[in-house]
Amino acid sequence: MRERVLETYRLGVDIGSTTMKVALLDKSGNLVFSDYRRHNANIPFTAKSILQQMWKKTGNSNLKVCITGSVGMGFAEKSGYAFVQEVVASAEFIRQRHPEVHTFVDIGGEDSKMIFFEDGKIPDIRMNGSCAGGTGAFIDQTASLLGVEPVELSRLAESNSTIYPIASRCGVFSKTDIQNLVSRS
């Protein structure tokens, strides 16, 4: 009787301060499964839920796992999986899969990162300072002030023509300006 050879996949897991993202690639590098969801500080539950969904699609298989993200290092150390710093992982992905890209913006829950690519040069990586303005948390707070889900902000921006003056240098000042505008309407 022939022994069944298990399929081998590469699993990338990004555990950020607010969300968990996974991408599963087959041996040819094709995306087989992906998921993106908020973990609400319950990373083990979220990981288990995502993996159960993934296994429904792939069945029993071999996994080569690599973890990234602001919370990923501790998880990688405890589980024994490889860890790659998130900006390095993003830059490598862009170089391999999208070499035409010149600027990459990553708005995380607690920070924002930009990577500038120029042919033949090391990527120029920039991060915001200690201010939360321009982060996912700021976007969530703004959506909450407006009484909408964050995904609705783009639709609102596209469907309106009035530009309101709000502070652009500080998230606290921006939030105050938004609160004042909301209270007037």
Could you tell me if 34 and 88 lie in one domain?
yes
Could you tell me if 102 and 179 lie in one domain?
no
- Asked if residue 3 is part of any domain, the answer here is no
Tokens of 157: 């921006």
Could you tell me if 14 and 101 lie in one domain?
yes
Could you tell me if 152 and 62 lie in one domain?
no
Q: Residue 1: which pLDDT band, with cuts at 50, 70 and 90?
A: low
Could you tell me if 14 and 66 lie in one domain?
yes
Could you tell me if 120 and 150 lie in one domain?
no
How many structural domains are present in the chain? Answer: 2
Inter-residue contact 83 to 66 (CB < 8 Å): yes
Q: Is the pLDDT of residue 96 over 80?
A: yes
Return d(Cα 52, Cα 119) in angstroms, integer.
41
Query: pLDDT tens-digit profile of 113-158?
Result: 999 999 989 999 998 866 777 788 888 888 898 999 988 988 988 9
Q: Is the pLDDT of residue 20 over 90?
A: yes
What is the extent of the structural domain holding 102? 8-127
